[in-house]
Amino acid sequence: MKTRQLTELAQQLRVDSVRAADAAGSGHPTSSMSAADLMAVLLAHHLRYDFERPAHPANDRFILSKGHASPLLYAAYKAAGAINETELLTYRKLGSRLEGHPTPRRLPWVETATGSLGQGLPVGVGVALAGQRLDRTGYRVWVLCGDSELAEGSVWEAAEHAGYEHLDNLIAIVDVNRLGQRGPTRHGHDLDAYARRFRAFDWHTVEVDGHDVEAVDRACAEAESTTGAPTVILARTLKGKGVRAVQDHEGLHGKPLPDPAEAIAELGGVRDLRVEVQPPPAARTLHPVHSGHLELPRYEVGDEVPTRDAYGQALAALGSARGDIVALDGEVGDSTRAEYFGKEHPDRYFQCYIAEQLMVAAAVGMATRGWVPYASTFAAFLTRAHDFVRMASISGSGINLVGSHAGCAIGQDGPSQMGLEDLAMLRAVHGSTVLYPCDANQTAKLVAAMADQDGIRYLRTTRGKTPVVYGPTEEFPVGGSKVLRASFEDRLTIVAAGVTVHEALAAADALAEEGLRVRVIDLYSVKPVDRATLREAAARTGALLTVEDHHEEGGLGDAVLDAFLDGRPVPRLARLAVRTMPGSATPAEQLHAAGIDAGSVMAAARLLVEHAVLV
Amino acid sequence: MKTRQLTELAQQLRVDSVRAADAAGSGHPTSSMSAADLMAVLLAHHLRYDFERPAHPANDRFILSKGHASPLLYAAYKAAGAINETELLTYRKLGSRLEGHPTPRRLPWVETATGSLGQGLPVGVGVALAGQRLDRTGYRVWVLCGDSELAEGSVWEAAEHAGYEHLDNLIAIVDVNRLGQRGPTRHGHDLDAYARRFRAFDWHTVEVDGHDVEAVDRACAEAESTTGAPTVILARTLKGKGVRAVQDHEGLHGKPLPDPAEAIAELGGVRDLRVEVQPPPAARTLHPVHSGHLELPRYEVGDEVPTRDAYGQALAALGSARGDIVALDGEVGDSTRAEYFGKEHPDRYFQCYIAEQLMVAAAVGMATRGWVPYASTFAAFLTRAHDFVRMASISGSGINLVGSHAGCAIGQDGPSQMGLEDLAMLRAVHGSTVLYPCDANQTAKLVAAMADQDGIRYLRTTRGKTPVVYGPTEEFPVGGSKVLRASFEDRLTIVAAGVTVHEALAAADALAEEGLRVRVIDLYSVKPVDRATLREAAARTGALLTVEDHHEEGGLGDAVLDAFLDGRPVPRLARLAVRTMPGSATPAEQLHAAGIDAGSVMAAARLLVEHAVLV
């Protein structure tokens, strides 16, 4: 396109952004207008993309990190012929694919859900890593960022990693319109402030007038020809560019234009230009995934094995059987045992250092390209990436998260290292699967099973050794449970998972010696829960006692409730959980102090059964 | 101290670190040994601190961001005479104050709990901001960081803010020992890589041999005399310094030394040097807190007011009554209405830009100096700071968090902006208080009440208008609830909070017209819950139906369970919550689609009552 045409295209994108927001009665047209020239140049001259084949292995990827500028994205889709005028004007309406912030659940051309700022670049790093080390079809990853979001630390985790990994297939374009939501950004139009920061993280930088389409075009070309480093194009722009009533004005973030008709006239009226987006080069299919026989590790019943060891060994085995498995580490692979995978499959092992947000975002990015990522760190430190997990669920992303060092059972290291909130966090994620195995064979089976679940899957592992209670041929369906002790005389059911299964078993056996028979359920699938088994146990035994190495809110005890929400009578319930703030102590002392060891289970069981009331 | 004495002191710190870890059988002596010279110089020559008066208003503050190097900290306490030899050797044992990672709950000299990396510097920024803008007693904030943790984005959020705010009272010392947990860091001993990054964020940088006590001494002096910018001292060190068997070796992170006796001999044996730490200058008491009459905003019953507006107005009023109230914004103060406070109290309003981790960490830092912070952003974006909230609870920090734009009721913006996991996240935090008001007067009262609670307090506000249902004189004790509809004929209790209270009321009134009387409880205190009222309602009406604008796990429905865990019979229960992934739609359409509007409540109520079984 000639300069004049590019400018016209940009004006069309502005006009269509104004129209979409006007039709919706909400949205962010001014944030779209600042980036319209950037988008026009990218779409017309640089992006290589087949809108009819969004999964094309050589398609460039485009991520709108400033997701609130969705009118601009949808206007671009219209210009590219992917959506029509009628659909554009459904923006933000019930049932429309064109949500307030773009999501891949609805639109096939969206790589990842955005709208929580500072996530597009880290996810882009994941896609670019996949491009550089796995797919190798030559695609580029373009990420359009806002300037406000550069305040997010996750952006600098991403910048650090992209520079370190020499991701020259990654190009960030920053729409420096100097205005955030409530006022000016820290650095306003000081492009050099941003350039110094990116350069310090080993990026190539280009500063440009973001409304000069020729200059933007040259900047994109320079980025494309830069090797050995990612490029950031810092574009000086004006929010609301092109309409005097709003241009560069504060206080107009996230508002439709006051007089859309006048604005459209000022922008030169409605156009219907169509862009022929450059197609990607021919390329082989997504990636060759070899598939072989899965030979999971097998453990002897009675042996003592940490479930984290089983995770590492099973993941390594899964990686041998399936070529689409990748693993990401947050610089604790020796603790989580992810390094077992790294040693066997170094080409599919990604060291993310101590940057949990980047680690999860990179997993999301790799999943967009069809890879099946396992990202692991201490369960406690997954809280660092909570917002990324939340957004991944909005994307419908299929990622596996594994948190080690669950609960107070870790012992001496103290509360900062204990995962005591992770079950609550992961259960509350829409569509998640939450698994918590108690022994090594169960862990191995669940590591393999989780790969094929939908949505976010979480596995919680234990630091210390636990006895192997299941044989290597036992199966553990997601959504199931195991009844480990049962008799016709059971007067109570103890529901446990992970480390507390062993406490519950010890308690049940000791109580049996006393003449009190109790049922024990291993609820390894915390979400979804095995409603039928819980219901039946409750009906037969009259009461349930849950015991968990987690804070009392949102964990196993709350999960059990899910089986009793159908309006039918509920059994008597009691819960043992970590109610105090632990300090340092041995694992056994911790379980005792928290009141979740076998002795505490026995005491609670006796009260529940013998007095029928706990307090 | 002379050079020789400083070196001796450093060797003592090493020896005591080795001894403490040996006595514990665990811990991180090699990570302590690398920083021993840094700590010796700081303690002997630069820190101004009265160990007998840890709350002294002019005390410098010291934060061990690399909290796993706790043996070094405790060895320093011993050298300063704050603890004795016997206590040192209780390290990591049950009941000891000397936990695996330091916590202020146990030790009066610890500012903030560390152990989750990348948190010390952001918290230090909060303390330094308090020092610069609030306390003004001239204290410095020293933060000892590891090099691995510089991979955390939160460090760069802090670096950006400290540079921007010219925090020359903040000094970071980075122990660049080149080895992380599982192997080398990204940049190894390349001090300049770190210096370039910090300089780009407008810090003064000093590079130094971290084992040359004279050079470290000069670097600290240079930092102290630097004005207008924070300083980072980048110290090249060796992990395990001083003991050939471990020095600069990989694979020895977090392990006691293999031969402690030999190591102690190699380090010159046990010493008992005592440091006279320089006292702080005389200073006025912590900060002058004026206290006046609290004149909360008052709203007319029947008016329609967003609870977020009431939050902003009440906070501004609280700020007028109490001089210790401060507010922090994540660049959305126009949305959360925190800006109302900012306009009235600009000296106590802190703009943190879009950096939620920094915002929460800064609140924690300010709370250490006696300030009462309110930090607010969208409820959804508080997930970004989850790990900081978790660590704040370990600190026993008293901070107020306010999340706006709760639930699908926000409407068109879509799921990325909806707080649908926040109740689960905040309930699972140890010792937290979780409040969710439904109207403006209730909000105002709770905003004031939360200031005086212990631990983490969370208030959830709604974007749209809700009718005022309570008069301005009504009281809302934390842990209470309000029964809004009740009769002797009630056959069901609907438990709601926030926006669903109004749906529940509409449903109850419409059902009453049909001849079906139901009770309505406004459970504004989600944690702690009002067990007595829930119990009584259950006993009288036979069944509970919870309805909440939150995902089904970990929210209101689970909270209600807390009233029924005493082993006594539980009523019939059913739950309405957001079970699907919302898109864009109007608020009313969202509530309907999620099945939490009045019509859905009515349908569920009829089923529960008339069929006595929901499914």
Give me the mean pLDDT over the B412-431 stretch: 97
The average confidence (pLDDT) of chain B is: 96
pLDDT of residue B288: 59
Q: How confident is the model at residue B291 (pLDDT cuts 50, 70, 90)?
A: confident
Inter-chain contact B586–A185, Cβ cutoff 8 Å?
no
CB-based contact A569:A561 (threshold 8 Å): no
Residues of chain A contacting B26 with CB distance shorter than 8 Å: 411-413
Which three-class secondary structure state does DSSP give residue B2? Answer: coil
Inter-chain contact A427–B554, Cβ cutoff 8 Å?
yes
Q: How many other C-beta atoms are found inside a 10 Å radius of the C-beta of residue A615?
A: 9
Maximal CA-CA distance, chain A: 90
Q: How far is B293 from chain A (nearest CA, A)?
A: 31
Distances from the Cα of A377 to the Cαs of A106, A158, A353, B78, B463, in angstroms? 31, 18, 10, 34, 36
* First and final C-alpha spacing in chain A: 78
Which three-class secondary structure state does DSSP give residue B195? Answer: helix
pLDDT of residue B613: 47
In angstroms, the CA A143 to CA A149 distance is 13
Residues of chain B contacting A408 with CB distance shorter than 8 Å: none
Maximal CA-CA distance, chain B: 90
Q: Please indicate if any CB of chain B lies within 8 Å of the CB of A282.
A: no
Inter-chain contact B414–A572, Cβ cutoff 8 Å?
no
pLDDT digits (tens, 9 = 90+) for A185-200: 999 999 999 999 999 9
Percent of chain A with pLDDT over 90: 96
In angstroms, the CA A499 to CA A423 distance is 14
pLDDT at A35 > cutoff 80 = yes
Give me the mean pLDDT over the B63-86 stretch: 98
pLDDT of residue B612: 59
In angstroms, the CA A503 to CA A548 distance is 10
Give me the mean pLDDT over the B590-603 stretch: 98
Give me the mean pLDDT over the B212-240 stretch: 98
Q: Partners of B300 in the beta sheet?
A: none
Among the partner-chain residues B339, B430, B558, the one whose CB lies closest to the CB of A551 is B430
Residues of chain A contacting B164 with CB distance shorter than 8 Å: 186
Among the partner-chain residues B153, B155, B428, the one whose CB lies closest to the CB of A152 is B153
CB-based contact B484:B520 (threshold 8 Å): yes
**């009515």: which residue's tokens?**
B602
Q: Which of residues 505-564 of B touch A (CB under 8 A)?
A: 527, 543, 551-555, 557-559, 561-562, 564
Q: Please indicate if any CB of chain A lies within 8 Å of the CB of B182.
A: yes
pLDDT digits (tens, 9 = 90+) for B17-63: 999 999 999 999 999 999 999 999 999 999 999 999 999 999 999 99
Phi and psi angles of residue B147, each rounded to the nearest 5 degrees, phi first: -80, -35
In angstroms, the CA B140 to CA B296 distance is 37
Q: How confident is the model at residue B569 (pLDDT cuts 50, 70, 90)?
A: confident
Q: Which of residues 133-172 of A touch B (CB under 8 A)?
A: 148-149, 151-157, 160, 164
In angstroms, the CA A541 to CA A105 distance is 44
**């967009």: which residue's tokens?**
A368
CB-based contact A400:A437 (threshold 8 Å): no
Query: CA B71 from chain center: how many Å?
Result: 24
pLDDT digits (tens, 9 = 90+) for A195-220: 999 999 999 999 999 999 999 999 99
Q: Are strands A482-485 and A519-522 parallel, antiparallel or unpaired?
A: antiparallel
CB-based contact A539:A582 (threshold 8 Å): no
pLDDT digits (tens, 9 = 90+) for A451-476: 999 999 999 999 999 999 999 999 99
Is A356 a known active-site residue? yes
Percent of chain A with pLDDT over 70: 98
pLDDT of residue A573: 92
Query: Best interface-test mutation with B: which of A349, A384, A456 has the largest number of B CBs within 10 A?
Result: A384
Distances from the Cα of B611 to the Cαs of A219, A563, B607, in angstroms? 68, 19, 5
pLDDT of residue A275: 97
Active-site residue, selected from the candidate residues B149, B356, B421, B548: B356
The average confidence (pLDDT) of chain A is: 96
pLDDT of residue A613: 47
pLDDT digits (tens, 9 = 90+) for A40-55: 999 999 999 999 999 9
pLDDT at B516 > cutoff 70 = yes
pLDDT digits (tens, 9 = 90+) for A106-155: 999 999 999 999 999 999 999 999 999 999 999 999 999 999 999 999 99
pLDDT of residue B287: 60
pLDDT at A615 > cutoff 50 = no
In angstroms, the CA A557 to CA A261 distance is 57
Which three-class secondary structure state does DSSP give residue B336? Answer: helix
With a cut of 0.85, is the ipTM above it?
yes
CB-based contact B529:B561 (threshold 8 Å): no
Q: Is the dihedral of CA B560, B561, B567, B573 positive or negative?
A: positive
pLDDT of residue B610: 79
pLDDT digits (tens, 9 = 90+) for A260-283: 999 999 999 999 999 999 999 998
Q: Partners of A291 in the beta sheet?
A: A322
Whether the bond between A373 and the residue before it is cis, its omega within 30 degrees of 0, is no
User: Of all helices (H) and strands (E), which one includes residue B126?
Assistant: helix B120-129
Q: What is the DSSP secondary structure assignment for residue B563, as one 8-state letter?
A: G
In angstroms, the CA B486 to CA B463 distance is 29
| List of domains in chain A | 3-266 (3.40.50.970), 304-467 (3.40.50.970), 482-614 (3.40.50.920)
Q: How many other C-beta atoms are found inside a 10 Å radius of the C-beta of residue A195?
A: 18
- The predicted model scores a pTM of 0.98
Q: How confident is the model at residue A288 (pLDDT cuts 50, 70, 90)?
A: low
A53 CB-side CA count, 13 A: 16
